[in-house]
Chain A
Amino acid sequence: MAQIQPRKTRSKAVRYGVPAAVAGVAALTVGLVPALASTGNPDLPKISAEKLVAKMAASDVQHMSGTVKINTDLGLPSIPGSGSGGGGFGGGPGAGSGAEDGSGGKKDSGSAASPDSKLMELASGEHTLRFAADGPDKQRLSVMEDAAEYSLIHNDRDVWGFDSGTNSAWHAKAPRDAKGKAPGTDHEKMPDSVTPQKAAEQALKAVGKSTSVSVEGTAKIAGRDAYQLVIKPKGAPDTTVESIRIAVDADNGVPLKFTLTPKEGDKPAIDIAYAKVDFGKPSAGTFDFKPPKGTKVTEAKPHAKPGGKAFDGKKHDGKKFDGEKPGLSGLAGLDIVNKGASDWNKVASFDTGMPGGIGGKNGPAGKEGEAGKGGDRAEKLLDGLTDEVKGDFGTGRVVSTRLVNALMTDDGKVYVGAVTKDGLVKAANADSK
């Protein structure tokens, strides 16, 4: 059987059918499997919103571990030319450029492994985290990065942060009498601060007269049956929040998914969900950590406040994981301006003590480059990022995102809130009277 000539020429077409069939089957599988998996919401007995909220509050799950996917699209203004190498591929407000901005910021701050700077990176783009908990004293959160990982480990009195990318660690320790909570570790520095549970807890704090809560159908999250709890602001015309959706495990009341949709656009601004969850006890070694040799360890100063840093435009995205307004009062020097307003309409303010604001010629923007030309460029940059507004308070500039807006007046006051631009101006007007 000499093989110089092929055996049968007419079987050629049949042969080419093989790779085509393989590719076709693969394409079908890729297209159909997710579609099939997502259909069929579970059939669960009806439950009232009150009962579901109570179930959530009463949930007493001590052990769990899982993978969390966080997707945030706050629509932060992108600064032209700030992207590093990736600038050539378009610096849209997508996941890529957001991550770059975040890592840039990481290097500027003192310790790369401090939770402040790391959790700030979660404020934009898509992230995968792993979370494990064993009671209130042992938690671990790992932020997965490309070929690196940031771990925040809470074990009894110690809170450790370890960044494998820069090989540096951060440590905070509680005094002997205070069990559980370490000093200077406010609740946003604890490993569970970015789980759906914590987000749901914060959202429920806002539940009151000004909020409508309802149960809307069911869903399957991470292979578990869940009820969908929908929270909507009521009587707050200026808020930017359209709705908050929480998927609650039908079995044990653990929130499995948290979605916050702003009024502007359909895409959720914050989406935190378990991709995988397991309610078994994690192995004890999960919560052990000792800094490896050669690691630079930064000790946290007791009672060091994360808010002590300069108030820059990025500040407001850090507080977003505290839910909406409740977190604001935690920052030093913040006042709620319109205390009488509905929870969703509240606006906070603080004084930068920097007359001239960011619009002034001696503002920080003016310092870049030499006088004249550099100033013009800064002015142009400022116009691209902010809108000028006028009101009874004078003039100011508004930095807008999809969720949180900030108004900086020319006399150095800053108003921040999850309200529209008009709402901010209204609050500022009322404040200046």
Chain B
Amino acid sequence: MSRAELTEERASGRPGAERPDGAAAAGAPARSRAVWSLGLFRSELTITFRRWRTLALLAVLAAVPILVGVAVRIETSDGGSIGSGGGEGPAFISQITNNGLFLVFTSLAATLPFFLPMSIGVIAGDSVAGEASAGTLRYLLVAPSGRTRLLLAKFTTVLVFCLAATLTVAVSALITGALLFPTGEVTLLSGTAIPFSEGLLRCLAVAVLVAVSLLGLAALGLFISTLTNSGIAAMAATVGLLITVQIVNTIPQLHAVHPFLFPHYWLSFADVLRDPVYWDDILKNLGVQALYTAVFGSAAWARFTGRDITA
């Protein structure tokens, strides 16, 4: 995307530029601030989700469940069972043929180690540094919204993208699973059967948990994004850090630091499918994500509010 194109897009996306509605802002100052925040957030959101880059990322994420579903369908079309070819697939893959709902869990388990966080890394890394490299950051700051609020709007947008990305995978998997495989009573990992409607609820819970699991990385990406003026550098650094941490997480000799790594409890979403739900690891995951969000969110704020914006 060229710089000129982006600037143009940015200009048309800002509500202040599009409709100079001083009417709303002329009211109570408190109200005008609220309107500003909301407008800022809305414009961030439209800009992010209108980008081809974002749409392409979502399209790739939506394709993963279709790929997995079709592959499993072809492999088991002769009545054989999954995994007879040897090797181990992602979690839950053997249950897909009995219930299409499990395609949701398989797809999330397959995309969570890399695809999903990579797309978060791209969006979060680009959020501030992308504006800086396109030269639009200073225009954003000219508007009387304040740096803190701009950062908050950016972060909220990344969070919305986390949820959107996860739901894209889940919905695509749900549709593919329902089309290709039987549905009905869901057998949980503990062997208990629950009705399909409750299965759908657990599905939603899993999707939200996965989205929340990505919070830590989103905050980390935002912080890295405030450090540099190059969008590409911020994206690469975020994704590189993700890979490094994932590797560290597999080295048994470093098990002492594992509980403090943000991806360590990512697969704990599977515990939702136990009966009764096993909360220990889920709560640990939420704690780790909250910690990363607090530390790197405030670090991003410290950096961004105290920095000279030269671009």
Contacts and interface: CB of A to CB of B under 8 A. Distances in A.
B274 A144 contact: yes
B287 to A, nearest CB: 9
B191 A6 contact: no
Interface stretch (A19-27, A180-188, A339-347, A366-374): A19-27
B112 to A, nearest CB: 11
B197 interface: no
A151 B190 contact: yes
B36 interface: no
Given A147-B270, A285-B192, A11 B306 contact: yes
A178 interface: no
A95 interface: yes
Interface in B163-221: 185, 187, 189-193
A46 interface: no
Contact of A289 (B92, B105, B189, B191): B191
A166 interface: yes
Interface in A156-172: 160, 162, 164-167, 169
A156 B306 CA distance: 69
Contacts of A151: 190-191
A12, A16, A19 interface centre (most CB from chain B within 10 Å): A19
A244 B193 CA distance: 41
Contacts of A1: 144, 146
A240 interface: no
A320 interface: no
Interface string A407-424: 000000000000000000
A290 interface: yes
Given A5-B308, A130-B278, A292 B91 contact: no
Contact of B141 (A2, A164, A293): A2
Interface in A132-180: 142, 144, 146-149, 151, 153, 160, 162, 164-167, 169
A90 B253 contact: yes
A95 B252 CA distance: 9
Contacts of B296: 19
A294 B291 contact: no
Given A4-B141, A92-B252, A294-B98, A148 B91 contact: yes
B98 A293 contact: yes
A30 B253 CA distance: 21
Nearest to A152: B191
Contacts of A23: 295
B147 interface: yes
Given A19-B295, A162-B191, A167 B94 contact: yes
Interface stretch (B45-53, B236-244, B297-305): B297-305
A161 to B, nearest CB: 9
A15 interface: yes
A164 B274 CA distance: 10
B98 A292 contact: yes
Interface string B219-256: 00000000000000000000000000000001111000
A328 to B, nearest CB: 33
B208 to A, nearest CB: 18
Contact of B252 (A18, A96, A166, A288): A96
A153 B192 CA distance: 11
A151 B278 CA distance: 14
B252 A94 contact: yes
A6 B308 contact: yes
B171 to A, nearest CB: 21
Given A6-B308, A146-B270, A26 B98 contact: no
B309 interface: yes
Contacts of A67: 280
Give the interface size class of chain B.
35 or more
B270 A18 contact: no
A165 B302 contact: no
Nearest to B137: A4
Contacts of A160: 191
Interface in B59-109: 81, 91-92, 94-95, 97-98, 105, 109
A240 B308 CA distance: 69
B31 interface: no
Contacts of B286: none
Nearest to A145: B189
B185 to A, nearest CB: 8
A4 B142 contact: yes
Interface string B123-164: 000000000000000100110101100000000000000000
A253 to B, nearest CB: 27
B308 A15 contact: no
Nearest to B291: A26
Given A26-B291, A147-B91, A164 B306 contact: no
Nearest to A103: B88
B267 interface: yes
B56 interface: no
Contact of A142 (B98, B185, B190, B298): B190
Nearest to B98: A294
Interface in A279-307: 285, 288-296
B150 to A, nearest CB: 8
A94 B256 CA distance: 13
A7 B307 CA distance: 10
B294 interface: yes
Contacts of B278: 130, 144
Contacts of B251: 89
Nearest to A85: B88
Contacts of B94: 165-167
A19 B299 contact: yes
A2 B303 CA distance: 18
B301 A3 contact: no
A408 B298 CA distance: 64
A148 B295 contact: no
B191 A18 contact: no
A39 interface: no
Given A19-B302, A285-B192, A292-B191, A90 B97 contact: no
B142 A6 contact: no
A432 interface: no
A18 B302 contact: yes
A9 interface: yes
Closest 4 CB pairs of A and B: A147-B91, A292-B187, A15-B302, A147-B270
9 contacts: A1-B144, A12-B302, A23-B295, A89-B251, A95-B252, A147-B92, A149-B191, A164-B95, A292-B98
Given A22-B295, A26-B294, 17 more contacts: A2-B141, A2-B142, A3-B141, A4-B309, A6-B147, A6-B305, A18-B298, A19-B296, A19-B298, A19-B302, A26-B295, A95-B252, A142-B274, A144-B271, A147-B109, A165-B94, A166-B94
